[in-house]
Structure 1
Amino acid sequence: MKKRQTTRIRNQTLLIIGLAVFTLINLIPLIWAALTSVKNPADAFTVPPTVLFQPTFEYHRQVWFDRDFARYLLNSLIVSAGTVLVSVPIGSLAAYGLSRMPQRRASPILFGLFTIRMFPHMLLAIPFFVMGSFLKMIDTYPLLILALVAINQPFTIWLMYSFFLDIPRDLDEAAAIDGCNLWQTFRIVILPLARPGLTVAALFSLLLSYNEFLFALVLTGIRTKTLPVAIASFGGEDVSDWSISAAGAIGIMLPIVLVMIFVQRHLVRGLTIGAVKG
C-alpha cells in the first residue's frame, strides 16, 4: 500500500513537472513579445539579449492612439460577436437534430460537414469575394460574418453534436409525455443541460473568428479592417516597427485573456463534461 502511494506521488510529481515545462515552452514567445514591446529597438535586437534595460511604453501608446488600434479592435469585436450570435444557435439546432437521428443517417451528413471544414480557406475566399463584389457587400460586416459562419459552422455542429449525444433521449420522451412539442423540449429541457457545451462552442467560435486573417484580408477594407490584418500592416523593413508589431500582438491578446478569465470555470466544466460517468 505504501509503495503504491509512493508511486502515485512520484507520477503526479513527474506530471506536474512535465506540464510546467510544457507551459514554459509555450509561454516563451509570449514573454519575448511582451519584452520586445517595452524595449527600444537597440535593446530588443542585441545579441546576446539585453536583460537589464530601460522599459518604454511608447510603442504601446503609438499602437493605441496613433494607429487606430481601438477602431480595429471594435471591428474585430463586432465581427466576432456577430459570428457567435449566428453560428452557435444554428449549429446547436443542427447538432440537436443530428444527435436524435439514427446513426446511419447522421454519419454521412457529419462526414460532409467535416469535408467542408477541410477545404483550404483560399479555395473558399475567392468565391466569397466574387459574391461580395456582385452584391456590393465588400468592406461590410455582414459579408465577413456570413463567411466566418460558413467556414466555422461544421466545427460548431460537430462540437455540439458530441454534447447532445451525452444527454439521454429519455428526457425527450419524458418532455413529450408532459405535452412539450419538439421546440419546447429543445428550449426548456435540452438547452439548460447543454449550457457548458454552448459556452465551449461560443468561445471556440469567438476565437476562430477573432483570429481569422485570410477572409478578413480579402473581404474587408478601410472601414471594417480587423485587428489581425491591421497588425500585419504595422510591421515593415524598419527594425523599429517590430516593437510596434509586438505591442500590437500584446494588445490583440488582452481581450481574449479577459474573456478566458471570465469564462474559465464554465470552460473547464464544458471541456470535462462526460469525462466522468456515474
Structure 2
Amino acid sequence: MMSAKTVQPSAPLRWTIGLFLATWCLIAAFPLFWIAVMSFKLPVDAFSANPLTVIFGPQTRAAGQGLSLLDLALGLATLAALYVVAAKKLGGWVERVAGETWLPLGWVVGGLLYGAVAAGVLVVLLPAVAGGLEAVVRPIPLVGLLAEPAIGLTLEHYANIWFEQEFYRNFINSLVVTAGVVTISLTVGTLAGYALARTRSSLAFWLLISALIFRALPHSVLVSGYLPPFINSAEILEPFLGDAAPTLYGQPWAVILVLVAINQPFTIWMLRSFFANIPAELDEAARVDGCTHFGAFRRVIMPVMWPGVITTGLFSFLLAYNDFLVTSLLLDAQNQTMVPAIASFFNRETTTTDQVRAVAAAVSITAPLFLLVIVFQRQIVSGLTAGAVKG
C-alpha cells in the first residue's frame, strides 16, 4: 500500500505550482488593490508617478484626512473578526434558526442582516472606538505616535458618488434585477434539472443540446433581436391591450426575463449535473414511504442539493450582476444598474477628481461579491466538489 508521502508531488513540482499560483494571484489582485488605494486619495496623490505617494498619500494626509497605526490595527482586527464570524459561525446560526424548511429564505435574510451589521460596525462603531482610543493614547509620550496619521485616506469620493450623484439608485436597481434573475433561474432550474436528470427519454438529451447551443450564442446576437420589440412594444401590443399596452423598454422586470432566458440553459446544465450525482434510490425510498414525486423532491432531494443550488445561484448572481450589454441597451438611465452606470461615469469624466470618483464607483461594486463569497464559501466548496469522487 502506498504511503501518503509516496503520492505527494516532488519538491520542484510543488515550487513550480506555488510560483505559478503566486504570480497569477499577483496579476489578478494587483489592479483591484491599486484602484482601491487610488479611490481613497485626493487626485494629486492618486495619479502620482511615485507608487509610495499613491499608497501613503502625503497630500491627503496633509489635508487632515488619514489613518493612524492604531486605526489600521483596529481595522484589520475588525475585518478579521467579521471574516471569522461570516465563514465559521453564520452558517450554523442560519441553519439552527431557519431549519430545513425555510433554509433558502434564512440564507437570504441572514446574508442581508449580516451585511447591514458589518456595514454598521465598519462605518459607525469602528470610527467611534478608534477616535476614543486615539484621544486616550495621544497625550502619552512615544505611545501617542500610534495615534498620529500615517496613511492619507479620504471618503469624500465615495460620499459624492453614492449620495450626490445618487449611485445608490443604481445599486438598488442591480439588487432588484439580480434577485429576480436568481429567484426565477433557480426555481425553474431546479425543477428542470431534476426532471432531466431522472428521465431516460432521448428528448431530454436534445433539450440539453438545444439549451447549450442557445447559451453559446453571443449576447450581442440575442440582444439585437430583443431590442426592436422592446422599443416598439406599445405599438405591437396595442391591438390586443389597447391603451394599457406596456412599454418593455426601460422596465427592470422585462430585463429580468431576458437575462433569465439567456442564463437559464447554464443553470439547467449545472443543476442537472448535481442532481445526476444523487442516487435515484433516494427517490425510490421516499416513494415507498408514501411521498409523492414532488414530496420526494422537496423533502429528500433538495436538502441534499443545497450546496449545488447555492453554487449555481452564485453563478447566476454573477452573470446578472456583472451584465453590461443587456442592461445598458434595454434599460433607460433612470433604471440603470451599476455596471453600465460606472461605464457612463468614466465616459463623462472631465477632471482628475471625476476620474477618482469613477474609480470609487468601480471599487464599490466589488463589496457585495466579497460578502457573498465569504458567507457562502463552505457551500460553494461543497457544491463544486459534489460528485467529484465516486466509489
Give the TM-score taking structure 2 as reference length.
0.66
| 2:374 equivalent to 1:276 | no
Measured in 2, the distance between the counterparts of 1:5 and 1:98 equals: 38
Which deviates the most, 84-93 or 94-103? 94-103
Note the alpha carbon deviations across 1:79-108, whole angstroms, 9 max, x for none: 111111111110111111111122743222
Equivalence for 1:124:
222
Q: Which of the two has higher C-alpha Rg?
A: 2
Residues 38 and 2 of structure 1: CA distance in aligned 2, closer, same or farther (over 3 Å): closer
Counterpart of 1:25 in structure 2 is 27
2:177 aligned partner: 79
In the other structure, the counterpart of 2:290 is: 179
AA matched with 1:170: E
Match of 2:39 in 1: 37
- Matches of 1:209 and 1:48 in 2, distance apart? 38
How many angstroms does 1:2 deviate by?
A: 11
Any residues of structure 2 matched to 1:102-117 within 5 Å, and which? 102=200, 104-117=202-215
Shift of 1:155: 0.6
Matched AA of 2:355: W
Separation (CA, whole Å) in 1 of partners of 2:13 and 2:309 = 34
CA apart distance, 1:258: 1.1
1:254 aligns with 2:367: yes
Over residues 33-86 of structure 1, what are the superposed CA-to-partner deviations in whole Å (9 max), with x where a residue is unaligned?
112212333333333443442333221121111111111111101111111111
Matches within 5 A, 1:220-239: 220-235=331-346, 236-239=349-352
Task: Return the offset for 1:257.
Answer: 1.0
Cα distance in 2, alignment partners of residues 224 and 140 from structure 1: 7
The structure-2 alpha-carbon separation of the partners of 1:224 and 1:2, relative to structure 1 and needing over 3 Å to count, comes to closer
| 1:15 match | 17
Range 134-143 or range 150-159, more displaced? 134-143
Q: Which residue of 2 aligns with 1:90?
A: 188
Query: Percent of aligned positions with the same letter in both sequences?
Result: 40
Q: 1:128-143, aligned counterparts within 5 Å?
A: 128-133=226-231, 134=233, 135-143=246-254
1:181-200 to 2 correspondence within 5 Å? 181-200=292-311
* 195-204 or 234-243, which deviates more: 234-243
Question: Secondary structure of 1:223's match?
Answer: helix
Counterpart of 2:256 in structure 1: which amino acid?
I
Letter in 2 for 1:206: F
Shift of 1:114: 0.8
In the alignment, residue 296 of structure 2 is paired with which amino acid?
Answer: T
Q: Distance in 2 between matches of 1:44 and 1:80?
A: 32
Higher RCO, Cα 8 Å, sep 6+: 1
Secondary structure, in 3 states, of the residue corresponding to 1:131?
helix
Instruction: For 1:36, give the aligned amino acid.
Output: M
Q: Which of 258, 273, 289 is 1:162 aligned to?
A: 273
Q: Which runs of 5+ in 1 are unaligned?
A: none
> Aligned letter for 1:26?
A
Separation of aligned partners in 2, 1:241 and 1:102? 59
The residue aligned with 2:48 is 46
- Do the aligned partners of residues 124 and 13 (structure 1) sit closer, same or farther apart at CA in structure 2, a change above 3 Å counting? same
Which residue is equivalent to 2:167?
A: 69
- Residues matched between the structures, number: 278
Deviation track 1:120-178 (CA, whole Å, cap 9, x = no partner) reads 11221133233333141222221011011011001100110110110111222222222
**Unpaired segments ≥5 residues, structure 2:** 61-151, 234-245
* More off after superposition, 165-174 vs 133-142: 133-142
Q: CA deviation at 1:256?
A: 1.5
Indicate whether 1:152 and 2:276 are aligned: no
Distance 2:21 2:384 in 1: 18
AA partner of residue 151 (structure 1): I
Tell me: CA distance 1:201–1:3, structure 2 relative to 1, closer, same or farther (3 Å): closer
Q: CA deviation at 1:118?
A: 1.3
Segment of structure 1 superposing worse, 129-138 or 205-214: 129-138
Alpha-carbon spacing, 1:143–1:6, altered in 2? closer, same or farther (3 Å)? closer
Cα distance, 1:7–1:108 mapped onto 2, change above 3 Å:
closer
